[in-house]
Structure 1
Amino acid sequence: MTDNAAGEILADVHRGVGRILLNRPEALNALTTDMVLAIDRVLAEWEHARLSRVVLASTGPKAFCAGGDIRTIREHSLAGDAGASERFFASEYRLNARIAEYGVPVVSLIDGLCMGGGLGLSVHGGFRVVTERAVLAMPETAIGFFPDVGASYFLPRLPGAIGMYLGLTGHRLDAADALYTGLGTHFVPSHELEAVGDALADHPDEPVDVVLSRLAGRSPVARSRLAAVRGDVDRAFGAPTLGEIEDRLGHLGTAWASSALAALESASPHSLDVTHDLLARGRQRTLRECLDAELALTRTLIRTPDFLEGVRAALVDKDRTPVWRPARQGRPRRGAESSQ
């Protein structure tokens, strides 16, 4: 197995199946620029090989990929190094597009955390195997950022208003929820995950879905909790404005609605405005157009006070008490007085 990015990416070809393993377990496989470039380079090299599939996985059980190394992006912003941040996001989004357009099926094995950039690696590839330990989320509004890595393309294409709900609140999905939404495609227990690569290699001429379904059929999955509140999700997050979303949640008065409302009220007001507009427009855009729009947004948003404060509170000081600036545009918002 070949080492790349100082051993943080391991890659090889085994019986016609390309394997890329994320190997930065101490950082939950948070993506650096070097890691992104290494994955992209391997995939580019394999375009000329005779592979039947590519598998993306992790060497550790805690995380597939917890996202991008956003703490380093904050350091670049504080240092005024816009070029370093530009290289990271441009490289990451180029990799997202490559995975989406890759010539052979890409299968991601999601065992543990899969957030932000982890979804960018997995969701564009066609097949996402989740285990009972899988946790999927786009939690960016909680750190003053926005759902990127093509989220403005894939979230609006989830059933009903689920994508808007996930993008605005950062709600965490378990395996059952991931399968219900389509972010996960198959379930395999964690102790059987190593069998996936061998099964794909054993049956190179069978459709990937058939091979994975055969493995998945051995283990039943619990009922999705998100499915139980789907009607309320669509009713509230299908509203045309953020203000109406909050109003509808307030009128529902259920435990789920209160939790969703609390998530909105704790997020960056500016990030919520940006995210709502981005997801509303994303349904009309191609993936490439969505990635271009997201890249343009990163250039300004990573320098905003909310981004610097959100990452500080979540990842630097870890006090979880960000003090947001009021949204520059938009409506009056509950709790806005406390952020002044």
Structure 2
Amino acid sequence: MGRETYTGDVAFEVRGHLGIITLNRPKALNSLTELMCESIRIQLEDWAQDDAVAQVLIRGAGDRGLCAGGDVASLYYEMVELQPRDGGPVLPEGTPAYQAEFAAERFFATEYLMNLRIAEYPKPYIALMDGVVLGGGVGVSAHGSHRIVTERSRIGMPETTIGFAPDVGGTYLLSRAPGQLGVHAGLTGAHLSGADALHLGLADTYVPSGGLEQLVGELTTAPVEEVLPRFAEHPEPSELAEAGWIDQAYTQEDVSGVVQLLEELGQSIPAAAETAKTLRSKSPTMVNVAFQAIRQARELSLEGALSQEYTVAVHALRSHDFREGIRAQLIDKDRNPQWNPVALELVDDDLVAHYFTPVPGKLLNLR
């Protein structure tokens, strides 16, 4: 018998010596709310002090995946209220909108604190990265100690599609992938297979999805170090591991140079041509910001990367592209965002630097 402590958008249960977190919004693909993030953090802290709980596992309700990310559609109307539609790429600092407190700022701060607590958790933290694991879903899983993928895993950081940049510590994780693969994944928002995620260091173990239920059952009575090897298998090889053109292209000093070289390589490598086309479809500003953020995160701790991501988020909330990206993808769903600036080559260094400039009174406190 288990003991259930809370059921709602996120459910907590103890079975044997296993604490189980179930993201419980299957109709929304288990997308995260601020309350869910705060509840997870508090429950983790309680279980850390509970001798009856030896290890923790997180999973998603339903059959589509762990989590599709944060519930960003709810941010749209708040941004519309403070950012006029005919405004420039970003509101000038010092305007009332920079002094106003967005509810989204509280959401990001709460989520990032949860991400850090997961990374620092003193007990085994087991993440079932089955099915869709996007954005915030990576944040609740890839910082764990035991990260399990399956043949159904589709893992990615698609933020540039909605005029945002990888966050939830994603820049930290991607910056430590082999070669330039993390930069490629973060800029394109590509969905990674389980094998790709293993190669990039976003996961540790491959288990066929059919074995997950039995795996969870055995984890209620035995430690993960003993149980997991019995279920682990070798996946098919990672396709990205063989894509040498990625390292060649992304070593350029700026995004315009990357895309230009991809287009040249694309004359003989179709995947490179398709990647160039993909990058040109994303927010030009945020592709440039993401490129810089992932590179800078190579020299940062996870806490430093989260703080950098928060500063980017503060500015993004007051930008044209984040609002427009959410509109095009999630509100009107016309998939036709009108970016400003409209092309990668029109994004200047000052605009990119703006996103990394801390705003007084809006700094992330993780301790």
TM-score, normalization by structure 1? 0.91
Map 1:121-140; keep pairs closer than 5 Å: 121-140=140-159
**In 2, Cα distance between the equivalents of 1:59 and 1:142?**
26
Shift of 1:129: 0.8
Shift of 1:328: 4.5
**In 2, Cα distance between the equivalents of 1:75 and 1:294?**
22
Shift of 1:330: 4.4
Specify the code of the residue in structure 2 equivalent to 1:126.
S
Shift of 1:236: 0.9
Specify the code of the residue in structure 2 equivalent to 1:65.
C
Shift of 1:319: 1.1
Shift of 1:56: 0.4
Instruction: Tell me the SS of whatever aligns to 2:141.
Output: helix
Q: 1:60 pairs with 59, 62, 78, which one?
A: 62
Q: Name which of structure 1's ranges 159-168 and 321-330 shifts more when overlaid on structure 2.
A: 321-330
Counterpart in the other structure of 2:361: none
Counterpart in the other structure of 1:274: 289
Counterpart in the other structure of 2:230: 214
**In 2, Cα distance between the equivalents of 1:236 and 1:213?**
37
**In 2, Cα distance between the equivalents of 1:82 and 1:140?**
22
**In 1, Cα distance between the equivalents of 2:163 and 2:176?**
24
Query: Identity over the aligned pairs, expressed in percent?
Result: 40
Map 1:54-133; keep pairs closer than 5 Å: 54-80=56-82, 82-133=101-152
Partners of 1:74 and 1:302 within 8 A in 2:
no
**In 2, Cα distance between the equivalents of 1:303 and 1:324?**
14
CA root-mean-square deviation: 1.7
Shift of 1:242: 1.0
Partners of 1:17 and 1:53 within 8 A in 2:
yes
Counterpart in the other structure of 1:245: 258
Shift of 1:316: 0.9
**In 2, Cα distance between the equivalents of 1:209 and 1:161?**
31
- Asked if 1:322 is matched to 2:337, the reply is yes
Specify the code of the residue in structure 2 equivalent to 1:240.
E
Q: Name which of structure 1's ranges 124-133 and 190-199 shifts more when overlaid on structure 2.
A: 190-199
Specify the code of the residue in structure 1 equivalent to 2:339.
W
Unmatched segments (≥5 aa) in structure 1:
332-340
Instruction: Tell me the SS of whatever aligns to 2:77.
Output: helix
Counterpart in the other structure of 1:335: none
**In 2, Cα distance between the equivalents of 1:37 and 1:203?**
29
**In 1, Cα distance between the equivalents of 2:199 and 2:173?**
15
Map 1:1-340; keep pairs closer than 5 Å: 1-2=3-4, 4=6, 7-50=8-51, 51-80=53-82, 82-204=101-223, 208-217=224-233, 220-229=234-243, 231-253=244-266, 254-326=269-341, 327-330=346-349
Deviation string 1:88-115 (CA, Å, 9 cap, x unpaired) is: 0000000000000011011100121100
Specify the code of the residue in structure 2 equivalent to 1:329.
D
Partners of 1:3 and 1:9 within 8 A in 2:
no
**In 1, Cα distance between the equivalents of 2:5 and 2:16?**
19
**In 1, Cα distance between the equivalents of 2:74 and 2:131?**
23
Partners of 2:174 and 2:200 within 8 A in 1:
no
**In 1, Cα distance between the equivalents of 2:249 and 2:320?**
29
Unmatched segments (≥5 aa) in structure 2:
83-99, 351-367
Instruction: Tell me the SS of whatever aligns to 1:280.
Output: helix
Partners of 1:273 and 1:330 within 8 A in 2:
no
Shift of 1:235: 0.9
Specify the code of the residue in structure 1 equivalent to 2:309.
E
| Matched positions, count | 324
Specify the code of the residue in structure 1 equivalent to 2:138.
L
Specify the code of the residue in structure 2 equivalent to 1:236.
A
Specify the code of the residue in structure 2 equivalent to 1:289.
G
**In 1, Cα distance between the equivalents of 2:249 and 2:145?**
29
Partners of 1:160 and 1:238 within 8 A in 2:
no
Partners of 1:93 and 1:291 within 8 A in 2:
yes
Deviation string 1:241-292 (CA, Å, 9 cap, x unpaired) is: 1122112212212111011101110010110111111111100111111111
Shift of 1:210: 5.0
Deviation string 1:113-157 (CA, Å, 9 cap, x unpaired) is: 100000000111122111211100101011100000011211110
**In 2, Cα distance between the equivalents of 1:76 and 1:63?**
28
Q: Stretches of 4+ moved more than 4 A in 1?
A: none
**In 1, Cα distance between the equivalents of 2:295 and 2:199?**
22
TM-score, normalization by structure 2? 0.85
Shift of 1:40: 1.0
Partners of 1:161 and 1:238 within 8 A in 2:
yes
Deviation string 1:294-317 (CA, Å, 9 cap, x unpaired) is: 111111112211111111111111
Specify the code of the residue in structure 2 equivalent to 1:64.
L
Q: Structure 2 vs 1, CA of residues 57 and 83 (structure 1 numbering), >3 Å: closer, same or farther?
A: same
Partners of 1:116 and 1:148 within 8 A in 2:
yes
